[in-house]
Amino acid sequence: MLILDDWEGEIRTSPGAERLRELADVTVLDGPLAEVPDDELADVRVVLAIRERTRFDAATLNRLPQLELILQTGGHAYHIDAEEVRRRGIVVPLWRSHDACEAAMRELTFGLMIAALRKFPEANQALSVGDWPGVLGGTLRGRRLGILGMGLQGKAVARLGRAFDMDVVAWARPGSQAADHGDGVPRLPMDELLTTSDVVSIHLRLSPDSRGLLDAAKLRSMKPGSVLINTARGAIVDEEALVEVLRDGPLRAAGLDVFTTEPLPKDSPLRSMPNVVLTPHIGWTVREAFAEFAEGAAGQLEDYLAHRLDQRELAFSPGERRAADVIGGVSTP
């Protein structure tokens, strides 16, 4: 078993890693897979991937000829070539546990909101050079929070928004029932949400429908003086148009943890804009999450070895070579 991209050293020292070592001969990498010689990968059957840090394209999979299981510590597999893993019969279960990452993401979301509205970066920069600025900010209380995406994260953000005494609304997807979703959050059409919300927070999965969803026209339609928060995926927002509306209005500010290109290019205008709060895709990078990753991976590996891994956990339908033999209830095609 190969544990990839343990840059922080949190996986190797976690209790879950001890469970993994009881199940497999484990090697932990804190550097890129590209630096490992091919002959050291020839017998690897299981990989534990840390989110999207390594892309599993055909070239990478060719270097792992015996690979049969990718333990994916995320709720998606954007970075994995679906057709290639199906063809090879590689099993890709998604992440079971969500508590730590969900807490980290919603806390960062509100951290970005508060930092943007209270102008923390501006105040910090002024103090760092010896000034004592008179910074005029605003509160969350009484403002309308518009949420795009009411999955687990969106619902958690809605609950916190109400705790901050915000007026919380959400986007009514086309064809959805706008009346009652059982969560007490009114659903609005996109145009109404954007034109009436003081803060818009994105919690959508990246998909063909959500890619570029907030285009130039939608960004220009936002309420004057509003704030955009994105902790989901950078490609959901037209980044060039975002720079324009942050310079010229209507946006007052933005808090961004994700970007169209990551790492964010050094020449990106976003890096130098005084009304933008930036974090380097750290929504999920908390110690508690890494401990959860290791525990969840150990449980999935145990189930895989015992032929009881639930096919409902899989990112992709099983392939032809190995998956049918190890997943409960799946027949060989």
Residues 167 and 203: their CA atoms lie apart, in Å, by: 17
Answer for the pair 294, 97: CB distance below 8 angstroms, yes or no.
no
Residues 85 and 278: their CA atoms lie apart, in Å, by: 35
Q: What is the 3-state secondary structure (H, E, C) of 46-90?
A: EEEECCCCCCECHHHHHCCCCCCEEEECCCCCCCECHHHHHHHCC
Catalytic residues: 233, 262, 281
264, two tokens: 């964010």
Q: Beta strands of 233-300 (E only): which ranges?
A: 253-256, 276-278
Phi/psi zone of residue 70: left (φ > 0), alpha (ψ -120 to 50 degrees), beta?
beta
For residue 106, what are the contacts with CB-CB under 8 A and spacing of at least 6?
153, 156, 157, 160
CA torsion sign, 172 to 235 to 297 to 287? negative
